[in-house]
Chain A
Amino acid sequence: MTTLTDRSAAVAVRDLTVLRGGRRVLDSVSFEVPPAQVTGLLGPSGGGKTTLMRSIVGVQVIASGQVTVLGRPAGSRLLRDQVGYVTQAPSVYGDLTVIENLRFFARVLGVAAAEVERCIDVVDVRRHRNDPVARLSGGEQSRVSLAVALLGRPRLLVLDEPTVGLDPVLRRDLWAVFHQLAADGAAVLVSSHVMDEAERCDRLLLLREGRLLADEPPGTLLARTGTADVEGAFLALVEGRAR
């Protein structure tokens, strides 16, 4: 793969530093997220994954550095219908039905009603179409939240731990959805603290204690560290630094 420039990258992050309560949550992080690929953001809880995603979406106050999304500064007005963001907690209205939630957000985004039906099918919640979201299981609720992020086919999807607590079958299906979105040209950034999800990604970002340990395809990472899996690679990188 060729070196990406700011122009072609969906996301370009340069020397990003974020302070929260005096603590350096992100420390001079730089990387790019290519379009048409699934990029995995992996690392232990508390390592700064959510803060990094919030910075890309443009809802995080940053201390220094630049975050460029689709050629514009993160959070620009013109990006607001181009970026789909799913937070860890399902950000939908529990007292509204699935269809009411999607129709509301579709109206906010100004996308057609047909788009609502498409997104319901993508995340496979059609049989719960008229159920209040609060009555669905946790996994179903996060799929509804994902469906909202898919409305209008955004060019960048930022998904914070979208597969937590899902059964293996559903997890596999969702990863298939992510790859389909990437095949359609979207840049997909997915975070996870489960290392075995890493092999499903085209490219990996390993984040620990606010610093980036790795930024490469999984195969390259394993070859470089001489390890058999990403968990091993992560340990090798952490211990290598300590030495």
Chain B
Amino acid sequence: MTARITAAVAVRVLRQLRHDRRTAAMLLVLPCLILVLLWWMFRDQAGGFDSLGPPLLALIPFVVMFLVTSVTTLRERSSGTLERLLSMPTGKADLLGGYAIAFGAVAAVQSAAAVALCVWVLGLDVAGPVWMLVAVAVADAVLGSALGLYVSAFARTEFQAVQFMPLVVIPQILLCGLFIARDELPTVLHWVSDVLPLSYAVDAMSGVTGTASGTASGMVSGSVLGVDAQVWVDLAVVVGFTLAALGLGAATLRRRTA
């Protein structure tokens, strides 16, 4: 891994995004619009937004970055630029790191905007520190990027890449505790939800706001830096899934192909 090359990749990805103003605007504005819609829906129901806002703050960066990364890396694979980069002194870690840094930065801006809106405009109740909401959202976004990067290896066209969304993302949304608390799921589905990364992302987010449902009340107690210890555990699980997905993604970047 070379710092110069990793930075070059990150800057290039951000530059591409800057040229694509429509995508850049959607990345920033869309999450906010969805949150406003949610707030409006639950305006007359006490506590509704407080319990559904945090899962959505976890979900949106995850879904958006999954899509953006799977399409971007698929383009890189099919346009020949990936092959060119791998025939140059680029390391696989430079590519993965560059992408993770660039999309992590976008996610940070995106999440900061969404969190600021929720907390200071829509009046979301947050028990823990607000910065932790942004930190969890960034981790979720990088997780989405890592998974998108991995599945892009199995798609030949952008059409196929988009189809991976329902396959990889929707089951995780259904089982993450948004619709039914995870410990109220049928046993087998509860087990499944235990090995899906989004469950931990949502638990971490709900843990920060203090609206965690029964399951997330957790194995550990106490707090670190003003954040519930269980949130740190959930965050660590998300980071672990991210590293595993990046490792799988690296395995799909081959210098030599048949």
Residues of A at under 8 Å CB distance from B? 20, 57-61, 75, 77, 80-81, 83, 85, 87, 89-96, 100, 104-105, 107-110, 132, 148
Contacts and interface: CB of A to CB of B under 8 A. Distances in A.
A89 B78 CA distance: 10
Interface string B221-258: 00000000000000000000000000000000001111
Given A61-B257, A110-B89, A89 B79 contact: yes
Given A92-B81, A95-B20, A108 B257 contact: no
A59 B258 contact: no
B90 A108 contact: yes
A196 B79 CA distance: 29
Given A90-B80, A109-B88, 7 more contacts: A91-B79, A93-B16, A100-B15, A104-B12, A107-B4, A107-B7, A148-B84
B8 interface: yes
B28 interface: no
User: How many residues of B sit at the interface, in one of the four size bands?
Assistant: 20 to 34
A87 B84 contact: yes
B163 interface: no
Given A80-B87, A87-B80, A109-B88, A95 B16 contact: yes
B135 interface: no
A59 B9 CA distance: 21
A41 to B, nearest CB: 18
Given A80-B88, A108-B8, A75 B255 contact: yes
Interface string B11-26: 1100110011000000
A104 B89 CA distance: 13
B52 interface: no
Nearest to B79: A91
B81 A93 contact: yes
Those 3 A-B pairs whose CB atoms lie nearest each other, nearest first: A91-B80, A107-B8, A91-B84
Given A87-B80, A110-B89, A104 B20 contact: no
A105 B258 CA distance: 25
A149 B202 CA distance: 46
B5 interface: yes
Nearest to B86: A59
A77 B19 CA distance: 33
